[in-house]
Structure 1
Amino acid sequence: MNYRHAFHAGNHADVLKHVVLLALCDALTAKPSPCFALDTHGGRGLYKLDGEAAQKTGEAQDGIARLQAEAPRDPAVQRYLAAVRACRTQHGAQAYPGSPWLLAHALRAGDRIAACELHPEEAHVLRAHFAGDVRIAVHERDGYAAIKALLPPKHGATKFARGLVLIDPPYEAQLAEFDTALAALVEGLARWPQAIYALWYPIKQGRALQPFRRAAARLPAKSALRLELLVRPDDSPLRMNGSGLLVLNAPWQFDAAMRPALDALRVALGEPGATACVDWLRAPA
């Protein structure tokens, strides 16, 4: 595995993913009972946008930097921008939070988080970032295998009825990764059917994802929601023109909250021809 997320931290895909992630966390914490979150591909958890990797690609300039300059007033986007500010207050003006940091920021003292990372160096940094946080267990292991090993979750005598599984692979296998991710979702739903599952995916050409969307609609979940942001027309198979999240068992009225959020992201981050979509691949009964 050669992927390093530091080259892409804070780009438009991260913005979408993290806006949605925080909204899911807030839906979970709206109820008093404890919850559990599994992050299958955690990376190093915290990034520096003035580091060599981020500076080499400059992707954050068209992501978080542009969004901060535009500062849309949508509540979900404002929630995300507030979290980025909190991260920078703690870690410096060029810090950018990865999903493990955002989970730690959004969840409560009684909640628990498992963050997985396969690459030894990245896992070492991830573990160091959260060494003082008893809520977080860092696992140097394959995130897909962790779904089988760690679900259904429990902590001591606590069994978690509610929670979130974030699957955010690097897609080094490109379209073949979708089959692996779908199989992982089937495994997870069999083990912990009441959880929310969120699968992030890149979009080069949307029509190539039609088989994935049809398969996602058949998954044994109560509902399947598609959220996609294309920052430019998907007329080139050679670049990532956008990204999406498949959310299974989405919280009540989550689609209504996300539609204006994605439209705000489209306006703030999009080039001419940008589009945003929030629709049910299978609506809740």
Structure 2
Amino acid sequence: MLSYRHGFHAGNHADVLKHFVTIQLLNYLGQKDAAYTYIDTHSGAGLYALDAGYASKNAEYETGIAPLWDRKDLPPALAEYVNLVKELNPSGKMRYYPGSPYCADKIMREQDRLRLFELHPSEIKILSENFRKLDAHAAAQGHRPTTRGKRVIITAGDGFEGLKALLPPPSRRGMVLIDPPYEVKDDYRRVKETVQDAALRFPTGVYAVWYPILQRMESKQLPERLKRIPGNGWLNVSLTIGGVTPDGFGLHSSGMFILNPPWTLEATLREVMPYLVSVLGKDAAATFTLESGETQVIGKGRGKPVSPPRTPVVRTRTR
């Protein structure tokens, strides 16, 4: 199915969680001089207009970036994300919102590499055009990177399958963002199998999975299944902005699961998540959860990975 267009949801509360966390992961990888590779399996268009087209129909950005736009009390880590969005809007008016490829491009350095996949025929054209415009803008400012052709590679195709050929990356350092539309139940299975396979090919990679929190069983089971994948620990965070409406429509909660997370990320989330609940929360059902744990890799043929008890789930609610 190729009916999904992320433009309808650009800048909503789920994007805030996804992009804020992604920026933190990339910042951590950038602390070392050695290059790293960022792989986005479902890149979308990369950049979205909030005042026209799909995004303007439901105005979902009003549940996410909009309430944060003029805040003066943003936690430092969250302020970095908001400022990145504001750089796209020099007039001060909120008109454009960056997708994960644009966020990554702004954070990453000249020596780092972006590998972007998109299957939707319309989205891949827009993604390619947006990066062409970025090149043109940089050239107009007198900046002509010598490695652009190698630094960013955009591929029209299935990111689940394309990921296999890229792991491990040449630098042996990298991050993978997996963010499918979850239009069909099979996406949940493919996410789990893709992360499991990727972790075998590239055990030290950082793997970030965004997922919707819905009533369907597959949604509830996904993070539990991801926790059993061997790695150097995991972290699972979710954000709920309100209770389910009577009609059952709309996305009110989503999560990010990170395999091999940076040791600094949990503390950052403990600071930022209560703030997001207080600002984005719509009613008393607004909350967040944050949990972490470890998986132990047992030698081949000696058993299955085991998980020690997880840390307690942290919750907070609006009043």
TM-score of the pair, normalised by structure 2: 0.82
Distance 1:85-1:198 versus aligned 2 partners, 3 A rule: same
Tell me, yes or no, if the aligned pair for 1:225 and 1:283 is still in contact at 8 Å.
no
| Cα distance change of structure 1 residues 268 and 101 upon mapping to structure 2, 3 Å threshold | same
Query: Which of 209, 228, 242 in structure 2 is aligned with 1:232?
Result: 242
The correspondence of residues 142-157 of structure 1 with structure 2, limited to 5 A, is 142-153=158-169
Deviates more, 1:236-245 or 1:271-280: 236-245
Worse-matched range after superposition: 84-93 or 184-193: 84-93
Shift in Å, 1:149: 2.0
**Corresponding residue for residue 114 of structure 2:** 113
How far residue 283 of structure 1 moved from its aligned partner, in angstroms, is: 6.9
2:255 to 233, 244, 251: 244
CA contact (8 A) 2:242 2:281 kept: yes
Distance 1:207 1:68 in 2: 35
SS at match of 1:88: coil
Bigger radius of gyration, 1 or 2?
2
CA shift for structure 1 position 235: 7.2
Distance 1:171 1:72 in 2: 34
Counterpart secondary structure, 2:207: strand
State how far apart, in whole Å, the 1-side matches of 2:168 and 2:77 are. 29
Structure 1 CA distance, aligned partners of 2:72 and 2:198? Answer: 36
* Between 199-208 and 127-136, the greater mean CA deviation after superposition: 199-208
In the TM superposition, structure 1's runs of 4+ consecutive aligned residues that sit over 6 Å from their partners are: none
Quote the residue 1:187 is aligned against: 197
Whole-angstrom CA distance in 2 between matches of 1:96 and 1:173: 26
Q: Which runs of 5+ in 1 are unaligned?
A: 154-158
Structure 2 unaligned spans of 5+: 136-147, 297-307, 309-319
Q: Distance in 2 between matches of 1:259 and 1:229?
A: 12
2:104 is aligned to 103
Matches within 5 A, 1:5-16: 5-16=6-17
- Asked if 1 retains the 8 angstrom alpha-carbon contact of 2:176 and 2:206, the reply is yes
Match of 1:163 among 174, 181, 198: 174
Equivalences for residues 55-66 of structure 1 within 5 A: 55-66=56-67
Count of residues in correspondence between the two structures: 279
Shift, 1:208, TM fit: 6.4
Corresponding residue number in structure 2 for 1:4? 5
- What is the one-letter code of the residue matched to 1:62? T
Work out the CA distance in 2 between the residues paired with 1:210 and 1:61. Answer: 26
Paired with 1:124 and 1:91, the residues of 2 have a C-alpha distance of: 28
Higher RCO structure (Cα 8 Å, ≥6 apart): 1
2:156 matches 1:140: yes
Shift of 1:92: 7.9
Q: CA offsets, 1:149-194, max 9 Å, x none?
A: 22222xxxxx2121110001001014x4221100010111111111
d(CA) in 2 for partners of 1:279 and 1:203?
A: 16
1:116-131 equivalences under 5 Å are 116-131=117-132
What is the RMSD of the two structures over their aligned residues, measured on CA atoms? 2.2
DSSP 3-state at the match of 1:42: coil
Q: 1: CA distance between counterparts of 2:218 and 2:197? A: 24
Deviation, 1:122, is 0.9
* Distance apart, 1:281 and its partner CA: 4.4
Distance 1:222 1:95 in 2: 37
What does residue 69 of structure 1 align with?
Answer: 70
What code does the residue aligned with 1:171 have?
Y
